[in-house]
Amino acid sequence: MSRFEPPSPPGRGGVGGEGDRLVIYGATGYTGKLVSRAAAERGLEPLLAGRSEARLRAVAEPLGLPYRAAPVDDAAALDALLAEARVVLHLAGPFSATSRPMADACLRTGTHYLDVTGEIDVFEALAGRDAEARDRGIMLMPGVGFDIVPTDCLAAHLAACLPAATELRLYVSGLGAASRGTAKTGVESLGAGTRERRGGRIGRLRWGDRARVDFGDGDRECVAIGWGDVATAYHTTGIPDVRVYFEATAQLRTLDVLSRHFRWLMGSSPVKAVLKAAVERQPEGPSERHRARGRCVILGEARDAGGRRVRARLATPESYTLTVHTALAVAERVLAGAASPGFQTPGGLFGPDFILEFEGCERRDLDEDDVPS
């Protein structure tokens, strides 16, 4: 039976209002479907939302959940959607296009904002709205999925172990196939080049940077990438120099070369259109079997000005599997009142051990002899 919900009159939900509802926006995408199904299994009764009523119906009705269509570029529709909500879990990317209108609606309606972005510019844009969010009494917390919960918690842990740290390096291994939405977001960022944070400021690496890292089973080559922690780790830890690396798969090596030497071409609209069309021909996302068998490993290293270093290794489930669990755990905490107004990061608000609450997540502090220099 359909559980379509007509729009409510605009009004203040979330903070100080009567609304206790969770809205999952972007419920028809790959991640959205996984999160919606898990939310139903946990008895959360979220309101599913997105652009297309027909696509929402196909996702919501089998789960017995209510749904409502509200285009992200329709301010009135978004206000009506969020009128009785305490929190929105925003899953519709690319967030470079969708985060601002959703955050605007949250500020207007007093609704806490969560998303699963990994885009540096989105993190920084939302951090720049900290004062607005504090004035409205709402929380803006982007990156509640694999981007960036495990890496952010590991960064917070390393900072606690070495409070005077001035340099942070994060290395990620085990990432498999991306969803179409994630791949399209990656296409959008190809023209930006690889970015790092140095002296507290975000800038481009002049040339691609590589490193050899032992994730626990021998050295592997890694390539520097513009991951969300370049933005967020500084807000969480105050460490001014941050760089992130991924294990160098064949595809990543190719993209690294192209983005370094042909950035002007990779960032052009015609090339982006061709690449996005190719993405549409790929599977919607990793298979259930891949998600069940996949594992990720994150190695973190912090150094201070005197040369002292601390290292730790964090093992996690496959990235989309972990995203489902962390995103819903954060949403549940916010629904229960564990929110702090303003821009927040997961590791900064919930602490470095937040990630250890999830099954399959294990952290190990490393001695100098455990990891080759």
pLDDT of residue 289: 84
103 and 158, same domain (yes or no): no
259 and 365, same domain (yes or no): yes
281 and 168, same domain (yes or no): yes
pTM: 0.88
314 and 346, same domain (yes or no): no
313 and 292, same domain (yes or no): yes
32 and 121, same domain (yes or no): yes
Q: Residue 9 falls within a domain, yes or no? A: no
Is residue 109 within 8 Å of 86, Cβ to Cβ? no
Min mean pLDDT across 213-222, 286-295, 333-342, 356-365 is at: 286-295
The structural domain count of the chain equals 2
190 and 298, same domain (yes or no): yes
165 and 118, same domain (yes or no): no
Q: Which residues constitute the domain of residue 58?
A: 21-144+322-350
Predicted confidence (pLDDT) per residue in 85-135, tens digit: 999 999 998 899 999 999 999 999 999 999 999 999 999 999 999 999 999
274 and 340, same domain (yes or no): no
Q: Residue 99 falls within a domain, yes or no? A: yes
Q: Is the pLDDT of residue 167 over 80?
A: yes
**DSSP string of 281-330?**
TS-SS--HHHHHH-EEEEEEEEEETTS-EEEEEEEEE-HHHHHHHHHHHH
176 and 68, same domain (yes or no): no
Q: Tell me, what CATH number does 234's domain have?
A: 3.30.360
Q: Residue 92 falls within a domain, yes or no? A: yes
SS3 of residue 363 by DSSP? strand
pLDDT of residue 12: 40
175 and 280, same domain (yes or no): yes
Beta bridge partners, 296, equal: 316
Is residue 330 within 8 Å of 144, Cβ to Cβ? yes
Q: Residue 308 falls within a domain, yes or no? A: yes
